[in-house]
Structure 1
């Protein structure tokens, strides 16, 4: 709903305040208020009335109007004139661009190889239900294009969690303040989930103990009572070590295990294999640390774990999340509304995804699926049939996809027809044949669910699209028309799509309508005020119980009972590789960036300064590196240039390079994803960004800065 902004005096200025939602890939999905003056967005602020986000915006989204009105926006449709990657284009009209895209797609669809030669590529440039997963899915389903397995962020953890809990349902974030022990596991909450932090601080003021588990000493670790830094990729072993102590000392909740779980005996047997001493050797910790943490977790109640997606970006990532997710059932932490575990709230939203996406539009033979985390291979190795057209939106794969050299090799193919729908000339846009100007969040309508709270949030269009920009849904409507698709669903307006998304008889959506959302700006799911989803079992699994033993995983050839799966690349699992590349690399989100979003804006660039790598003083001294040196990080996949920050924030043997920098704004026009791998996780087909061994060497003295 658009609210008037009162004015005194006789000013003729037109002022209004419009309700909006932050669109970016963050759990918090902030409710926002946009001040519009004479058709221009002049201020973006948080909505102080939202119960969870409370009017505060993070450093990334504060001043969002500057992103919308940036002089660097793509203004018109563009057609490539130079070589791919050069970034030389000429302006063309929308009609010319759409006609060429439709013509090329039609030609490929009617060829002997068929529409599977066309590959869509998108992720979470916007998280909106309308602009991210409605008209686009309908279009590519109807076309019969290759399907995209969207795995690059969260699929491994989601698979592991669902194998245990059933759906991504967990502790209500608004109840964290009543917990007595909070374990923040693989989450830099202050940088990437900041609106949960006040709940944690309130708990701390009430006497709660806060433990942060992270290989790096983050901002969140600084503010916690305790920081535990295991080696990357060893979290499952740590969780099994905690179980060992809990079972050995009789600290488990036997009643909860008996009534509401399957496989407790098998898990107890597995945990016996993971003594604190063995786990200490795997994780690079002290055995006493593991024992003390286990006792705290089992005895301080209510206890809650905030687990996040960083720890699932390695070979055993799915099993790591699964193993940690077993802990609340062992101690009965689910009994209390402030106990349990939270990975994501997304499974709590019973939205009508079939109506949104219309998978029934697919041809009778289901098209193949390509994994977005293996884009390099998809563009260079897949030949049955080869990918001949790539349509990129809501993503910047040239910067964010793993094994970057292979991705760039694919994007450089002269026979690959590439379309990029973008707000800015990203690294990927430089390789496009056609670039289409995209709207920002202030220029289109959308509806958002959160994955870090329990509210739906509306996003009204605050201003008309700038220049010649069009939103995703409109572009796919126009392409569907040019392709001759006659289905009525391609005529649905954005508002109709939003209504379809919430059209459900599920009790959690009772009373939630588009009209009510427009009036209030946001609405909480229709859940009990004291939401304790598994206090009496009722897990959304086939057994109705927390599945400590998973027959589903067993059928997939995976361990039925939680087990530690080592990283692909570590000193313990790959000693020959480690001989040449002895340092474990992780590349978490930079504080001022969100993936590669915001990584081209002046404010955020000033905050991050330059691409850097944190290295422990012991590792730095062994290589003759001092703080500020220009260094080369490298492995068998590639290399990149970074500035060294010598600090104990990185534990010995681990280096940390916050990301994701644009290639074109990085030394040598490459970023840290030169070093990451296309190998997939154990379950969910996820990316293994944090499973890479590297070496670092000092560059010549003349390059020191």
Structure 2
């Protein structure tokens, strides 16, 4: 059995569908689980080797340590406001725009290195440096080479706090391969002028500088490399552990939070007795190829022969790449069971659909880790039709299978909420907070965590003050610019130090002759991922009923495409329809579409059939970043686009037919 559960589901901490599924399957005997994630999978794989940490969301620099200290923020992949307005377990305070204004007013300069001007708010009057997609590592190497040859790197920091810089410096000089990674070399790859790369390196060395790389940058072929190179570039500047300096993976944390982390409520899921795993980006490959052996993070794993998929709280036909390959694999197991409130793509491709409630039909608690509030999510309406809470569905199944008491622990919804609350309340009190008892909280509806004088620690500040007393959890206890452990894996796709490796397909490759446009997929503004795509808000963002794809006017004009036209986006892996939107704020030869449009093929269930709605994963690759992280490469994809004058109807929101 594959516990095909991946998604944000509900913001509430009790009615969290993935937790209920895992708890149920663990009590039933276990399940095949995925490892890694689609959000920051490459960073999750590489950072334990580089700084000894895998808590990637915690590596986003907090605003409080930047404003008034940071002079220059260099953003690889930008920092779009919409991405800083969401939090996995529910965001209460939306302060990102305010903090951008504060930083700008304090004199912080912003540089947006991205194919899209709109990846940085206009309010900060930042500089846009347009580069070819997937060439960030080359630019970082060109910056690093300038720092090296001009003596602008911090040798004392590198010697005391890092290991392996000498090997990396030889790589910059071209010692092992005869290729000098200077600004001119980087300019040829990225199309950023060499003079601008050199000047930026000097600016970075003469300023208190934060190097920030968006999570989207590492969702690409060899995505481990820009993450590793981000840390290495910051190490060369020698400002890691200083206020306003160092690096950030992602940028623009959603809002300020109390310095002592507010604990997060979480349902206990138990222990999975099954140890078989699949890298998150290889689910389709696993379903298609049972028994196949693959390398993953220093070991070999064998794919299981999955007979049953149980999926709740997510949309497999949204986050997985190469949907035609996934569809072929999805059809191999004997049975697919899902819980869904709507007729979503995953419901359309299931054998058994159990109707589940939405957030508005149940009681819950919003209590995200480090959040400033706990909120009582009190039911607005009774469940519609035959919809039931996921917990109640699993409880009845557990009763039929003989372990209901173990699953429910004889608690109902309110009893579980009270138990979760009181358990977490005790932890909060240990950290100096004083939330009320559950009944008082539920009646009040909200509890705010407030401190009079918050003190925000600078990331890696303790390590900088005394690396011997506060070593990192790496093999050396230091920042590893060269990793002996990774060297031992002998992965061609992940060498032992940050390296430029040509992507499988990019605008500098031979494939660009047939598919001359690089497709980037970003987070939508009118929904969260694919959630509620059928809602009026999301539908209002469509063009001609399809997801909007942004093109540069010159690329559109060369193809006879006008604003509002329906277009066909294709490559050898598949095709989808979208509505054209023209903008000069996107680099030429680059197109961009939001993720999350509900997949709907002209011929449902037929691999290779045209998607009518605009799902970019029709054309993305199933290739992983490298055997180290096994993460997805959705941002590495070339396509061709043509106008469609008589498109087929879009039926993604049509209800099911009942006989």
Q: TM-score range by the shorter chain?
A: 0.7 to 0.9
Q: Secondary structure at the match of 2:591?
A: strand
- Equivalent of 1:381, from 271, 280, 289? 289
Say if 2:184 is the partner of 1:277. yes
Displacement after TM superposition at 1:219 (Å): 5.3
**Retained in 1: the 8 A contact 2:183–2:195?**
yes
1:66-465 → structure 2 map (5 Å cutoff): 117-126=1-10, 130=14, 131=16, 134-142=19-27, 143-167=29-53, 168=56, 169-170=58-59, 171-178=61-68, 179-194=70-85, 195-218=95-118, 220=120, 222-223=122-123, 224-272=125-173, 273-301=180-208, 303-343=209-249, 356-359=268-271, 362-363=272-273, 366-382=274-290, 385-412=304-331, 416-442=334-360, 443-449=362-368, 454-455=370-371, 457-463=373-379, 465=382
1:55-74 → structure 2 map (5 Å cutoff): none
Identify the residue that residue 551 of structure 1 maps to in structure 2: 484
- Equivalent of 2:459, from 514, 519, 533? 533
- Provide the C-alpha distance between the structure 1 equivalents of 2:6 and 2:436, rounded to a whole number of angstroms: 26
**Retained in 1: the 8 A contact 2:422–2:437?**
no
- Provide the C-alpha distance between the structure 1 equivalents of 2:434 and 2:156, rounded to a whole number of angstroms: 38
Say if 2:649 is the partner of 1:694. no
Tell me, which stretches of 5 or more residues in structure 2 are unaligned? 86-94, 174-179, 292-302, 464-469, 603-610, 649-659
- Provide the C-alpha distance between the structure 2 equivalents of 1:126 and 1:595, rounded to a whole number of angstroms: 13
TM-aligned CA distance change 1:461 to 1:402, over 3 Å: same
**Retained in 2: the 8 A contact 1:337–1:530?**
no
Q: Secondary structure at the match of 1:657?
A: strand
- Provide the C-alpha distance between the structure 2 equivalents of 1:379 and 1:190, rounded to a whole number of angstroms: 37
Q: Secondary structure at the match of 1:121?
A: coil
TM-aligned CA distance change 1:661 to 1:615, over 3 Å: same
Displacement after TM superposition at 1:506 (Å): 12
- Equivalent of 1:581, from 487, 511, 515? 515
- Provide the C-alpha distance between the structure 2 equivalents of 1:348 and 1:404, rounded to a whole number of angstroms: 42
**Retained in 2: the 8 A contact 1:405–1:674?**
yes
Aligned-residue CA RMSD (Å): 3.5
- Provide the C-alpha distance between the structure 2 equivalents of 1:282 and 1:597, rounded to a whole number of angstroms: 37
Displacement after TM superposition at 1:187 (Å): 4.0
Say if 2:560 is the partner of 1:624. yes
The range that moved more, 206-215 or 268-277, is 268-277
- Provide the C-alpha distance between the structure 2 equivalents of 1:141 and 1:539, rounded to a whole number of angstroms: 36
- Equivalent of 2:401, from 458, 483, 496? 483
TM-aligned CA distance change 1:299 to 1:676, over 3 Å: same
Q: How many residues align?
A: 575
- Measured against aligned partners, the alpha-carbon deviations of 1:289-315 in whole angstroms (never above 9, x if no partner) come to 2112212222222x2234321111111
TM-aligned CA distance change 1:280 to 1:501, over 3 Å: farther
The range that moved more, 685-694 or 156-165, is 156-165
TM-score (norm 1): 0.73
Displacement after TM superposition at 1:206 (Å): 1.6
- Provide the C-alpha distance between the structure 2 equivalents of 1:242 and 1:201, rounded to a whole number of angstroms: 28
Displacement after TM superposition at 1:675 (Å): 0.6
- Measured against aligned partners, the alpha-carbon deviations of 1:267-304 in whole angstroms (never above 9, x if no partner) come to 33333332001111111211112112212222222x22
- Provide the C-alpha distance between the structure 2 equivalents of 1:348 and 1:186, rounded to a whole number of angstroms: 30
**Retained in 1: the 8 A contact 2:120–2:126?**
no
TM-aligned CA distance change 1:465 to 1:293, over 3 Å: farther
**Retained in 2: the 8 A contact 1:631–1:642?**
yes
TM-aligned CA distance change 1:397 to 1:264, over 3 Å: same
Displacement after TM superposition at 1:513 (Å): 6.7
TM-score (norm 2): 0.78
- Measured against aligned partners, the alpha-carbon deviations of 1:657-699 in whole angstroms (never above 9, x if no partner) come to 2222112499625622111111111232211111111111233
Identify the residue that residue 608 of structure 2 maps to in structure 1: none
Displacement after TM superposition at 1:237 (Å): 1.7
**Retained in 2: the 8 A contact 1:596–1:661?**
yes
Tell me, which stretches of 5 or more residues in structure 1 are unaligned? 1-116
Q: Secondary structure at the match of 2:111?
A: strand
Say if 2:511 is the partner of 1:592. no
Displacement after TM superposition at 1:350 (Å): 9.9
TM-aligned CA distance change 1:385 to 1:162, over 3 Å: closer
Identify the residue that residue 607 of structure 2 maps to in structure 1: none
1:497-536 → structure 2 map (5 Å cutoff): 497=420, 509=431, 511=433, 515=437, 518=441, 521-523=447-449, 529-536=455-462
- Provide the C-alpha distance between the structure 2 equivalents of 1:410 and 1:670, rounded to a whole number of angstroms: 21
